[in-house]
């Protein structure tokens, strides 16, 4: 059933869609533009999380060798992609929430319209015969 009956409803629907599309495009562009910078930052975080307690202390003899750069890059890349996916999911969820809000406003308006029509019909029935 199409609840978009007024031009304002269509305009709001289109605005929600356009905003979400733009936010997704911006997120994808930002992800591409800052990927290597983020990779370096997250690589350092992974290294600190894995070997943080050993980075500040003198090197004992039985310490594990530091992971190779490829292993760090794989772990960092996984985190970066997961964060990117979370941001895209949040944008889509926000879009859905806005559509639901629009739907609720339209339903409320339709209920009020139906209530007013019912009240008018009841008033006509009570008023008795017309003067004509």
Tell me 56's DSSP state: S
Domain assignment of residue 72, yes or no: yes
pLDDT tens sequence across 53-71: 555 556 556 666 666 788 8
Domain assignment of residue 84, yes or no: yes
pLDDT tens sequence across 75-97: 999 999 999 999 999 999 999 99
Q: What range defines the domain where residue 100 resides?
A: 27-114
Domain assignment of residue 50, yes or no: yes
- CA distances (Å), origin 62, targets 26, 54, 55, 59, 66: 47, 11, 14, 8, 12
Decide if pLDDT at 6 tops 50: yes
Domain assignment of residue 13, yes or no: no
Total tally of structural domains belonging to the chain: 1
Domain assignment of residue 52, yes or no: yes
Whether the full predicted model's pTM is greater than 0.75, yes or no, is: no
Domain assignment of residue 65, yes or no: yes
Domain assignment of residue 67, yes or no: yes
First to last CA, the chain: 41
Domain assignment of residue 100, yes or no: yes
pLDDT tens sequence across 10-44: 999 999 999 999 999 999 999 999 999 999 999 98
């Amino acid at each position: 059933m199409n609840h978009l009956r007024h031009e304002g409803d269509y305009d709001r629907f289109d605005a929600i869609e356009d905003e979400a599309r733009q936010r997704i495009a911006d997120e994808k562009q930002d992800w591409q533009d800052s990927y290597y910078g983020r990779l370096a930052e997250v690589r350092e975080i992974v290294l600190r999380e894995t070997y943080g307690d050993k980075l500040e202390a003198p090197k004992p003899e039985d310490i594990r060798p530091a992971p190779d750069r490829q292993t760090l890059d794989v772990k960092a890349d996984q985190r970066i992609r997961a964060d990117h996916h979370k941001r895209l999911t949040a944008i889509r969820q926000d879009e859905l929430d806005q559509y639901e809000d629009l739907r609720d406003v339209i339903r409320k308006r339709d209920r009020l319209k139906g209530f007013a029509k019912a009240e008018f019909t009841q008033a006509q029935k009570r008023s008795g015969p017309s003067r004509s």
